Amino acid sequence: MASIPAGHTYVRQVLDGTGFRVLPDPPPPGAVDGRWWPPVMCDAGWVTANVHRFDVMHVHFGTESYPTAHLRALVRALRAAGRPLVYTLHDLENPQLTDQAAHREHLDVLVRAADELVTLTRGAAAAIERRWGRTAEVVPHPRVLSLDAPAPAGTGSEPYVIGVHLRDIRPGTDAVRAVATLLAAVGHLRAQGVAATARVQVNERVRDETAREQVTALVAAHPGAELHRTERLDDAALARSIADLDVAVLPYRTGTHSGWAELCWDLGVPVAGPPVGYAGEQHPEDFAGFTAGDGTGLALAVRRLLAGTPRPGSAARVARVADRRRQRVAGAEAITAAHHALYQRVLNRAERAA
């Protein structure tokens, strides 16, 4: 199996247990610390030179590293080698990009060429059907939180903590408007007698320093807000940070699905998000929508979520996290089986066509 990439958390989760041996990511020139991008296997020359080493190529992430012509050459090389292509369409809009034109071209190439398509929600599958007339198999997102480490249940606090993580403020993050909306919502909640605090987490190194400075000024001017500006959090610290929240707010401008929403679900933290993509379909029982810029709407969404959510640090939160871990373990088998069956289908077709 040539998986692009092999080392991404999502990819490791869905392929573990399929019975297919996955080639490790070849290191890009000059790469350090296990970096897989730009993906070396996403290349016609690599396919031709390594055709004896894999039976199926499965593309997930990383195509934004290359021009469209590069992907067309990749597809031609796979066809010439008789190797099927599977494509998981995670993003109808790429949150790493400001201009989506190249990404749309990449989708046109890969969706039309793929022998099998996968996506994560019914809404995304319907969008694929409308745009390309292709049917994508819907396989839900696997767990994000590792089973090898204890799952934090958060630290209790008197006020409800409503938080947004801006991280490095990538292009798909609507940082300033998200924070302004959160601050307005917390103002509404406090006016209604609900003890609430807005917590804004942002990395020390960001892609948009102007946005971070605007966010800093907004938080400094609000009596019910706090800013946590830190170095990039590792996985364990990130999980602890999310677990301390009563509600997590998604700051998306663009996107389709949300690994962040999955991590929040693993940690028992409900999510409020704008109508961007299909994140709301991933765990609808734990999601409430609001319109960016509408603080009143976000306050209502937060109150709905708080009504059915155990507080951080409580025994009920511990129980919820444990129950969700059990659900993830039970669901992993179905996710693995779906991918195994998909690979067998494309290989059987390839054998018949040979």
Q: Is the pLDDT of residue 147 over 90?
A: no
What tokens appear for 79 in the block?
């066809």
Residue 20 lies in a domain: yes
β-strands 271-273, 57-59 pairing: unpaired
Average pLDDT, the chain: 96
Instruction: Please report, for the domain that includes residue 58, its CATH number.
Output: 3.40.50
pLDDT of 150 reads 85
Residue 171 lies in a domain: yes
Q: Is the pLDDT of residue 30 over 90?
A: no
Asked if residue 300 and residue 235 are part of one domain, the reply reads yes
pLDDT band, residue 300 (cuts 50/70/90): very high
**How far is it, in rounded angstroms, from Cα 258 to Cα 266?**
13
Mean pLDDT of 144-150: 87
Asked if residue 120 and residue 24 are part of one domain, the reply reads yes
pLDDT of 219 reads 98
Instruction: Please report, for the domain that includes residue 183, its CATH number.
Output: 3.40.50.2000
Q: Is the pLDDT of residue 152 over 90?
A: yes
Asked if residue 278 and residue 168 are part of one domain, the reply reads yes
Asked if residue 139 and residue 49 are part of one domain, the reply reads yes
Asked if residue 218 and residue 109 are part of one domain, the reply reads no
In single-letter form, the type of residue at position 198 comes to A
Asked if residue 349 and residue 249 are part of one domain, the reply reads no
Asked if residue 308 and residue 165 are part of one domain, the reply reads yes
Q: Is the pLDDT of residue 17 over 90?
A: no
Residue 22 lies in a domain: yes
Residues 86-112 pLDDT 10s: 999 999 999 999 999 999 999 999 999
Residue 319 lies in a domain: no
Asked if residue 165 and residue 43 are part of one domain, the reply reads no
Mean pLDDT of 153-167: 98
**How far is it, in rounded angstroms, from Cα 185 to Cα 162?**
9
The answer to whether the beta carbons of residues 162 and 249 sit under 8 Å apart is: yes
Residues 201-214 pLDDT 10s: 999 999 999 999 99
Mean pLDDT of 191-203: 98
Mean pLDDT of 293-313: 97
Domain that includes residue 249, residue range: 160-313
Phi, psi of 196 (to 5 degrees): -145, 145
Instruction: Provide the phi-psi class of 299: left if phi over 0, else alpha when psi is between -120 and 50, else beta.
Output: alpha
**How far is it, in rounded angstroms, from Cα 249 to Cα 162?**
7
**How far is it, in rounded angstroms, from Cα 50 to Cα 28?**
16
Angle separating helix axes 175-191 and 295-307, nearest 10 degrees: 70
Neighbours of 134 (CB within 10 A): 15
Residue 308 lies in a domain: yes
Residue 151 lies in a domain: no
pLDDT of 158 reads 97
Residue 154 lies in a domain: no
pLDDT of 34 reads 78
Residue 342 lies in a domain: yes
pLDDT of 121 reads 98
Asked if residue 291 and residue 203 are part of one domain, the reply reads yes
pLDDT of 32 reads 81
Q: Give the chain's domain count.
A: 2
Asked if residue 168 and residue 37 are part of one domain, the reply reads no
Query: Which of 25-29, 147-151, 171-175 ranks highest by mean pLDDT?
Result: 171-175
Handedness of CA 279, 270, 152, 147 (dihedral sign): negative
Asked if residue 282 and residue 175 are part of one domain, the reply reads yes
Residues 211-266 pLDDT 10s: 999 999 999 999 999 999 999 999 999 999 999 999 999 999 999 999 999 999 99
Asked if residue 343 and residue 293 are part of one domain, the reply reads no
Q: Is the pLDDT of residue 33 over 90?
A: no
pLDDT of 307 reads 96
Mean pLDDT of 40-47: 98
pLDDT band, residue 308 (cuts 50/70/90): confident
What tokens appear for 29 in the block?
């020139």
